């Protein structure tokens, strides 16, 4: 646990990480501005894929009532675009973390191509479940090594807003100089889903 806290602290303290969050936030914002009506079919495809892939792990975690459509609360076109490009395509479903660029032509993918390998290496070297970058104002998950259902969603509203991860986010936002905050992600649905997909 101490090693993980030190790793998290080092990643968070890096000026490169702050710059990366800013760049990914700007790219994420551009995806939020995409017309939601253009993405209805993609959202439904994601829901169908996730229902098939995550039904058993969700049930095993005692989460039977999660409506996967809630992932896209409030016309969240960024989550739809990112998860469709990185988490659902048949050739990357099992190893989305190995994909550097989904080839979707987005600015987000251009930034991701530059920054993904070092973050992936940290996760692999330290045997971490995932590494998320969350923008501080609205709690958008602007990056994830593993590309699970929280990518592109918010920690302040939507299905993960009441989660353990959202509480960690709130604690950091309340006191950004307070150091590393550790939470038990055993109760965070996307972390639990890793066992199933």
Contact 43, 186 (CB under 8 A): no
Band of the pLDDT at 159, cuts 50, 70, 90?
confident
Q: What is the rounded average pLDDT of the residues 144-165?
A: 89
Contact 133, 142 (CB under 8 A): yes
Ranges 19-23, 93-97, 190-194, most confident: 19-23
Burial class (CB in 10 A: 0-12, 13-18, 19+), 72: buried
pLDDT the model gives residue 197: 39
Q: What is the rounded average pLDDT of the residues 42-51?
A: 82
Contacts of 70 (CB under 8 A, 6+ apart): 158, 159
How many residues are given for the chain? 197
CA gap 98, 180 in Å, rounded: 27
Phi, psi of 85 (to 5 degrees): -75, -35
pTM over 0.75: yes
Contact 83, 43 (CB under 8 A): no
Mean pLDDT, rounded, of the chain: 82
Band of the pLDDT at 50, cuts 50, 70, 90?
confident
pLDDT the model gives residue 119: 94
The CB-side HSE value for 24 (13 A sphere, CA atoms) comes to 27
- Predicted confidence (pLDDT) per residue in 88-141, tens digit: 765 554 578 888 999 999 999 999 999 999 999 999 998 888 899 999 999 999
134: which strand partners?
Answer: 141
pLDDT the model gives residue 196: 41
Q: What is the rounded average pLDDT of the residues 58-82?
A: 73
């Amino acid at each position: 646990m101490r090693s993980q806290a030190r790793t998290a602290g080092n990643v968070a303290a890096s000026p490169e990480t702050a710059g990366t969050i800013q760049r990914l936030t700007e790219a994420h914002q551009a995806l939020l501005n995409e017309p939601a009506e253009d993405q209805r079919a993609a959202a439904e495809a994601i829901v169908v894929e996730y229902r098939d892939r995550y039904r058993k792990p969700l049930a095993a975690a005692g989460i039977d009532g999660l409506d996967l459509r809630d992932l896209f609360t409030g016309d969240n076109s960024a989550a739809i675009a990112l998860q469709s490009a990185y988490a659902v395509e048949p050739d990357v479903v099992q190893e989305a973390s190995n994909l550097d660029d989904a080839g979707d032509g987005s600015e987000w993918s251009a930034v991701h191509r530059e920054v993904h390998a070092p973050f992936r290496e940290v996760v692999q070297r330290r045997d971490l479940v995932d590494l998320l970058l969350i923008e501080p104002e609205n709690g958008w998950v602007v990056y994830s090594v593993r590309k699970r259902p929280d990518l592109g969603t918010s920690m302040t509203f939507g299905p993960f807003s009441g989660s353990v991860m959202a509480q960690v986010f709130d604690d950091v936002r309340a006191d950004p100089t307070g150091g590393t905050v550790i939470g038990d992600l055993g109760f965070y649905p996307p972390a639990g889903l890793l066992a199933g997909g």
